[in-house]
C-alpha cells in the first residue's frame, strides 16, 4: 500500500513512502528488534490508527534495546509511523511528531538510506505545513526546509547514489551440494551482488526524491535560483556537477510554469499552490 496526500508533492512522496524499509540495511541489523518494530508498524492503518499507542509500544523497546544504533532504529520507525500515510492538512497532529522523531533518529547512528529518508521526511513535513504561506513568509521557511533536503542529498551522493536506476544482477542460483566450494563461493558472490544492488536501488530513489523536493521548493514563488546555488555549493561539497544540474532543473521548471498557458483554466498554474483536498493513491 502506498498512500500520499497533497497534489503538489504527488511526484515526490511516492518515492519516500514506497521504499520505506529497514530490510537490507548496511548496518548489522538486530533481527529481534526489527521484527518487533515491523509488527508495530504494520498496525498503522491511517487515520483510524491510535498513533500515540504505537509510539508508546516502540518506546517500550528502548528498555531492552538501548544501544545508540537500536535507539536510532526505534526513533526512525516512530517517525515513519507518523509520516508514512500522508497528512490530511497542514494542521495534522502527526506533523510535529514526525519532525520530532526524524530529528531524534538523526542524532543516532543510522544506515545511509534510513538517514536519507529521515532528512526527506523532515523537509516534507515542513513543506506540507508552510506551502501555502504568503511569499514573504515562505522565503524564510524555504531556507529552513532546504537544509535537510540538501543534507540528505549529500549523504546519498557520498554513498554513490546512482543517477539512473541500477541494473539488477542475475538472480541468486540455488545449490544442493555444500561440499562444492565453487558453487558455494558463487552463491556468496551472487548474494553480495544482490545486497549491493538493493542498497543502490534505495539510494537511487532517495536521490530522486530529495532532488525533486529541492526543485519544488525553488520553483515556488518567489523564485531564487541564486540562493539555491549558494546553499547547494556549501552543502553539496565535491558535487559541483550535481549543483549545476539541480539549478538547471529548477530553471527549466520555472520556465515551464511561466510559459503562456494554451488552455483556459480557473486557476493559473503560476499561482502558489493551495492545499487541495486529501486524496490517496494505492500501489
pLDDT for 198: 96
CA terminus-to-terminus distance, the chain: 5
Query: How far is 153 from 184, CA to CA, in rounded Å?
Result: 38
**Domain count within the chain:** 1
Phi, psi of 4 (to 5 degrees): -150, 160
Q: Which three cell numbers stand for residue 97?
A: 511528531
> Which secondary structure element, helix H or strand E, spans residue 207, and what is its range?
helix 181-218
pLDDT for 3: 36
Q: What is the pLDDT along the chain (283 residues), one digit of tens a residue?
A: 333 334 434 334 434 433 444 433 434 448 899 999 999 999 999 888 999 999 999 999 999 999 999 999 999 999 999 999 999 898 999 999 999 999 999 999 999 999 999 999 999 999 998 888 899 899 999 999 999 999 999 999 999 999 999 999 998 887 777 777 888 888 889 999 999 999 999 999 999 999 999 999 999 999 999 999 999 999 999 999 999 999 999 999 999 999 987 554 444 444 444 443 333 333 3
Residue 261 forms part of a structural domain: no
Which residue shows C-alpha cell 556468496? 188
Task: Select from 213, 195, 200 the least CA-distant residue to 152.
Answer: 213
Residue 266 forms part of a structural domain: no
Which residue shows C-alpha cell 526489527? 34
pLDDT for 9: 43
pLDDT for 155: 98
Query: How far is 28 from 26, CA to CA, in rounded Å?
Result: 7
How many CB atoms are closer than 10 A to CB 133?
Answer: 15
Task: Select from 80, 120, 89 the least CA-distant residue to 213.
Answer: 120
Residue 145 forms part of a structural domain: yes
Residue 55 forms part of a structural domain: yes
pLDDT for 260: 86
- Integer-rounded Cα radius of gyration of the chain: 21
Residue 2 forms part of a structural domain: no
Residue 153 forms part of a structural domain: yes
Cβ atoms 97, 55 nearer than 8 A: yes
In whole angstroms, how far apart are CA 102 and each of 66, 73, 106, 282?
A: 18, 11, 6, 25
pLDDT for 23: 39
Residue 280 forms part of a structural domain: no
Where residue 6 falls (left for φ over 0; alpha for ψ -120 to 50; beta otherwise) is left
Query: How far is 169 from 178, CA to CA, in rounded Å?
Result: 23
Name the residue range of residue 146's domain.
12-174+189-256
- Supply the DSSP symbol for 68: H
Query: How far is 260 from 187, CA to CA, in rounded Å?
Result: 58
Query: How far is 17 from 13, CA to CA, in rounded Å?
Result: 6
Amino acid at each position: 500500500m502506498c498512500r500520499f496526500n497533497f497534489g503538489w508533492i504527488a511526484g515526490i512522496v511516492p518515492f519516500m513512502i514506497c521504499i520505506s524499509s529497514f530490510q537490507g540495511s548496511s548496518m548489522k541489523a538486530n533481527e529481534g528488534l526489527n521484527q518487533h518494530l515491523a509488527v508495530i508498524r504494520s498496525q498503522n492503518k491511517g487515520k483510524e490508527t491510535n498513533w500515540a499507542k504505537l509510539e508508546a509500544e516502540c518506546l517500550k523497546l528502548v528498555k531492552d534495546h538501548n544501544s545508540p544504533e537500536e535507539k536510532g532504529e526505534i526513533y526512525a520507525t516512530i517517525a515513519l509511523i507518523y509520516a508514512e500515510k500522508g497528512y490530511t492538512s497542514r494542521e495534522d497532529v502527526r506533523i510535529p511528531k514526525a519532525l520530532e522523531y526524524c530529528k531524534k533518529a538523526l542524532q543516532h547512528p543510522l544506515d545511509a538510506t534510513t538517514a536519507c529518508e529521515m532528512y526527506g521526511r523532515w523537509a516534507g513535513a515542513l513543506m506540507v505545513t508552510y506551502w501555502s504561506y504568503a511569499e514573504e513568509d515562505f522565503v524564510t521557511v524555504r531556507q529552513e526546509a532546504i537544509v535537510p533536503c540538501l543534507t540528505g542529498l549529500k549523504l546519498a551522493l557520498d554513498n554513490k547514489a546512482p543517477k539512473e536506476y541500477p541494473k539488477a544482477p542475475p538472480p541468486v542460483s540455488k545449490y544442493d551440494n555444500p561440499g562444492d566450494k565453487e558453487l558455494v563461493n558463487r552463491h556468496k558472490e551472487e548474494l553480495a551482488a544482490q545486497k549491493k544492488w538493493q542498497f543502490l536501488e534505495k539510494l537511487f530513489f532517495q536521490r530522486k526524491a530529495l532532488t525533486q523536493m529541492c526543485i519544488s521548493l525553488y520553483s515556488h514563488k518567489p523564485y531564487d535560483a541564486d540562493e539555491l546555488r549558494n546553499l547547494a555549493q556549501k552543502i553539496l561539497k565535491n558535487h559541483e556537477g550535481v549543483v549545476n544540474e539541480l539549478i538547471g532543473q529548477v530553471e527549466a521548471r520555472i520556465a515551464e510554469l511561466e510559459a503562456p498557458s494554451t488552455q483556459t483554466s480557473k486557476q493559473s498554474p503560476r499561482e502558489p499552490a493551495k492545499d487541495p483536498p486529501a486524496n490517496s493513491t494505492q500501489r
